A = this chain, B = another copy of it.
Amino acid sequence: MSTTHRELIEGRPVLVVIDIQGGDSVDGEESAIPFMPGYQKAMDQAPPLIAKARECGIPVVFFQEAHRRDLVDFGRELDGAEDVHLLEGDVGTDIAKALGVRPDDYVIRKRRYSCFFGTEFEILLKGLRAQTLILIGGHTDVCVHYTFVDAHQHDYFCRVVEDAVAGSSSDAHDGALRAMEYLQTGARRQSAEVVEAFEGYARSSAPSSPR
């Protein structure tokens, strides 16, 4: 049980933007993946958070789930609620334009749900000497939750911005948020708090105030 008080940001933070892709498939109609109501509204919180992170000198890592067109890398992903989804080369697989990804940004393509599974994420995080991961994107109950779990098991402080994530259903979203809070007390945060913490971090790490 946490007796030590933890700040929203402990040590060096990184903003992790998970699977905000495609265009208009989030209406839920005939989509290969289920989406909860209000999904797009949550994703709309992402651009201002990304802009604020950039302004405050906080690294941003963008994840994109993508599968090879010959379906070789789906593993068991078609044995459950999801149909064939996010093929390389499909427009809907592109990272959403609204995020404003730049050529020199950190973008990582992944084949599985967790951002750590079969990717270079740990290499990058060690290179950035990251200590706190702040998660936004989707699905709360799949890629966000399972990335949180792996980050937790890799000893990172983890935060999930609850108004900037959305799930496969409202129930699944709520359950995953509770599961993350079980793992780290204070994990659930609001965009407004995160913006404030980013600004505080920028001030404390400014050249005139050496850490």
Whether the Cβ atoms of A149 and B152 lie closer than 8 Å is no
Is A178 interfacial (CB-CB < 8 Å)? Answer: yes
Residue of B nearest to A6 (CB): B79
Given the contacts A111-B120, A178-B175, A185-B81, A76 and B155 also touching, CB distance less than 8 Å: yes
Does the CB pair A149–B104 fall under 8 Å? no
Q: What are the residues of chain B within 8 A of A175 when measuring CB–CB? A: 171-172, 175-176, 178-179
Copies held by the complex:
4
A178 proximity list for chain B (CB < 8 A): 171-172, 175
**Pair B179/A2 contact, Cβ less than 8 Å:** no
* Given known A-B contacts A112-B123, A128-B72, A146-B149, A172 and B179 have beta carbons under 8 A apart: yes
How many A residues have CB within 8 A of the partner chain? 62
| 12 contacts across the A-B interface (CB closer than 8 A) | A2-B78, A75-B126, A76-B158, A79-B183, A81-B185, A111-B123, A113-B149, A118-B123, A127-B155, A141-B179, A149-B149, A176-B179
Q: Which of B113, B168, B183 contacts A80 (CB 8 A)?
A: B183
Contact status B73-A114, CB under 8 Å: no
A25 to B74, CA, bound (A): 38
Which of B72, B119, B152, B183 is the one whose CB lies under 8 Å from A118?
A: B119
B181 contacts A80, C-beta separation under 8 Å = yes
> Of B80, B117, B119, which one neighbours A182 at CB under 8 angstroms?
B80
Would B153 and A112 count as touching, CB distance under 8 A? yes
A184 interface residue, CB < 8 Å from B?
yes
Hey, what's the 0/1 contact readout for A124-143 against B, CB within 8 Å counting as 1? Answer: 10111000000000000110
